[in-house]
Amino acid sequence: METKPVEWVEGKVRLIDQTKLPHREVFLELGRYQEVVAAIKTMKVRGAPAIGIAAAYGLALGAQSIRAAGKETFLRRFRAMAQTFAATRPTAVNLFWAIERMKRAAASGDDPARIKEALIAEAKRIDAENEAANRTLGRLGAELIEDGSTILTHCNTGPLATGGYGTALGVIRAAHEQGKRVRVYAAETRPLLQGARLTTWELMRLGIPVTLISDTMCGYFMARCQINYAIVGADRIAANGDTANKIGTYPIAVLAMEHGVPFYVAAPTSTLDLSIPSGKEIPIEERRPEEVTHIRGVPIAPPGVAAANPAFDITPHYFISAIITEKGILYEPYQARLKKLGHSGEKEA
């Protein structure tokens, strides 16, 4: 059985604390919505789709504690909670998309008791639809992968990041499930090491051969023709196809173009934000400098040194060979083809 990174269990939000992996599997049972907010901020749960699912369950949880006789008072308090979730992490649009869905579900109910039930059902639906989308995009994307390939991936895009199956990692595992022999180079993903800690852990459990490399080794292996494809996930895809993903993705895309390696982005349509024209408008999260000056709490730089910590970078659309979604595989010109898909991620909470 696959570990569900976040789920609704007997009126609580249960999640695996990803900051403890791979050495300890610690499950948290959160009974207050503020604890879910904190878990997203501190990246106990992380990855664009998983953050959206956690916020949806967190809002369902928070709604249960609202004491209001009438719908208007209920909705006012619910919207305030939604605002708290929207302020956790700015880049992954799946968060805002899920919050919008929950707000719509709340607004369409009749009275607080029914709305509370409807919100639990809506969060479960978001979770289930997301996993189904990942399975579909995985299967579609696997058609691009030839037997005997070596694939470079960055950050973590497996079940932990996505609520189920995976996006970029979903493509890789679908190819593996189809009987293709695939091997993976997992880039460690400084500063928080999602590649080293989480991607290797997931791939090893799936029985897919994986080699851990530092982020600085990507060019070395491409120059030696040891990588056939680079596949990554996405936190937000703008209307022109520009894509925000974990810091370190953009240099991989540039290297891939230089070495003639196809560079694929795999993401469900809940990651699209067609309301913004390009990557320039995507807000980039800046995190604490200590994440760079320390590794797992151990200082690696002189005390007091200045450190920058943008958590994501933007890969311009012209570096992307294809965008793999559950509704199909898209090629340039992305602008027109993304528009046809029709979904626009919601930004406001």
Q: Which residue in 167, 240, 243, 269 binds ligand MRU (CB under 6 A)?
A: 167
Q: Which residue in 164, 233, 241, 345 binds ligand MRU (CB under 6 A)?
A: 233
Asked if 164 interacts with ligand MRU (CB under 6 A), we say no
Asked if 103 interacts with ligand MRU (CB under 6 A), we say no
Asked if 269 interacts with ligand MRU (CB under 6 A), we say no
Instruction: Report which DSSP code applies to 96.
Output: H
- What residue is closest to ligand MRU based on CB? 233
Q: Choose one: 54-62, 118-126, 230-238, 333-341; the region binding ligand MRU (CB under 6 A).
A: 230-238
Q: Are the C-beta atoms of residues 276 and 287 closer than 8 Å to each other?
A: no
Site string for ligand MRU, 274-313 (x = CB under 6 A): -------------------------------------x--
C-alpha 349: how far from chain center: 19
Q: Active-site residue 235, yes or no?
A: yes
One of 110, 111, 235, 273 is an active-site residue; which one? 235
Q: Measured from the CB atom, is 56 or 311 closer to ligand MRU?
A: 311
Q: Which residue in 106, 234, 239, 314 binds ligand MRU (CB under 6 A)?
A: 234
H-helix segments, the chain? 33-41, 48-64, 71-86, 93-107, 112-142, 159-162, 168-177, 194, 200-206, 218-223, 249-258, 290-293, 334-341
Q: Answer left, alpha or beta for residue 192, where phi above 0 means left and psi between -120 and 50 means alpha.
A: alpha
Q: Measured from the CB atom, is 53 or 234 closer to ligand MRU?
A: 234
The identity of residue 191, as a single letter, is P
Q: Measured from the CB atom, is 47 or 109 closer to ligand MRU?
A: 47
Site for ligand MRU in 186-205 (CB under 6 A): 194
Q: Are the C-beta atoms of residues 289 and 302 closer than 8 Å to each other?
A: no
Q: Answer left, alpha or beta for residue 317, where phi above 0 means left and psi between -120 and 50 means alpha.
A: alpha
Q: Are the C-beta atoms of residues 329 and 258 closer than 8 Å to each other?
A: no
Q: Answer left, alpha or beta for residue 257, where phi above 0 means left and psi between -120 and 50 means alpha.
A: alpha
Catalogue the active-site residues.
235
State the residues that interact with ligand MRU by CB under 6 A.
46-49, 92, 155, 157, 161-162, 167, 194, 233-235, 245-246, 311
